[in-house]
DNA sequence: TTGTGTTTTACGACCTC
DNA sequence: GAGGTCGTAAAACACAA
């Protein structure tokens, strides 16, 4: 079993982020959630085998998301040093931080495209209205 | 409840530098 | 090779019926 965090890190996180710690460390009698989710392999899909369903997705805490948002606000790109630092601060796997930034950039891009689309649509609508007005004048 | 749509986390494939 | 985008799977969540 390869855990993301060793005991020393756990102790550190438990001090800094009690909420995070309680989320990471399973309660008594609770099944310890897996480090990373499954994605059915093509072979598993083909065979219909669900036995490799070892991973379960876990939502990040509000605090973790806030910190990530602040960091994203500073800089959209993520150098490895910054990634490792953030991961250590938040008690996350650096891979999770990288994935979060990837997804965040994708959402940011979608939002920006939507805004551009709305701008273009508005100016197009205005042109159409103008055209109609001019035609009626003529 | 539960069926359904949306959001969030995670990954594989491919690309760029 | 590390880190990017893109497309998508699947868990988590919201909420009407």
Give A10-31 pLDDT, tens digit per residue: 333 333 333 333 333 333 223 3
Fold classification of A59-138 (topology level): Arc Repressor Mutant, subunit A (1.10.10)
Q: Which residue has the higher pLDDT, A2 or A85?
A: A85
Q: What is the pLDDT, as a whole number, of residue A15?
A: 36
Which protein residue has its CA closest to C1' of C4?
Answer: A102
> Which of A45-54, A69-78, A86-95, A120-129 comes out lowest in average pLDDT?
A45-54
> Is any atom of strand B within 7 angstroms of residue A100's beta carbon?
yes
Chain B positions with a protein C-beta closer than 7 Å = 8-12
What letter does residue A4 receive in the DSSP assignment?
S
- B6 C1' – A107 CA distance, angstroms? 14
pLDDT of A129 strictly over 60: yes
Band (pLDDT 50/70/90 cuts) for residue A68 is very high
A118 strand B contact, CB < 7 Å: no
What is the reported pTM?
0.66
Domain boundaries, chain A: 59-138
> Could you give the percent of chain A with pLDDT greater than 90?
38
Work out the pLDDT band at A56, boundaries 50, 70, 90. low
Whether A107 CB is under 7 Å from strand B: yes
Helices A94-137 and A62-74, interaxial angle, to 10°? 60
CA distances from A54 to A36, A47, A137 (A): 8, 17, 71
């Amino acid at each position: 079993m390869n855990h993301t965090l060793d005991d020393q890190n756990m102790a550190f996180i438990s001090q800094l982020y009690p909420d995070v710690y309680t989320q990471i460390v399973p309660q008594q009698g609770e099944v310890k959630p897996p480090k990373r989710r499954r994605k059915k392999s093509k072979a598993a899909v083909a065979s219909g085998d669900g036995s490799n369903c070892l991973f379960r997705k876990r939502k990040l805490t509000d605090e973790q998301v806030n910190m990530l948002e602040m960091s994203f606000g500073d800089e959209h790109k993520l150098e490895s040093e910054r990634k490792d630092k953030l991961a250590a601060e938040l008690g996350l796997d650096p891979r999770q931080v990288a994935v979060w930034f990837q997804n965040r950039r994708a959402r940011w891009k979608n939002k920006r495209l939507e805004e551009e689309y709305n701008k273009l649509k508005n100016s197009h609508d205005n042109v159409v209205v103008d055209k109609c007005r001019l035609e009626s004048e003529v």
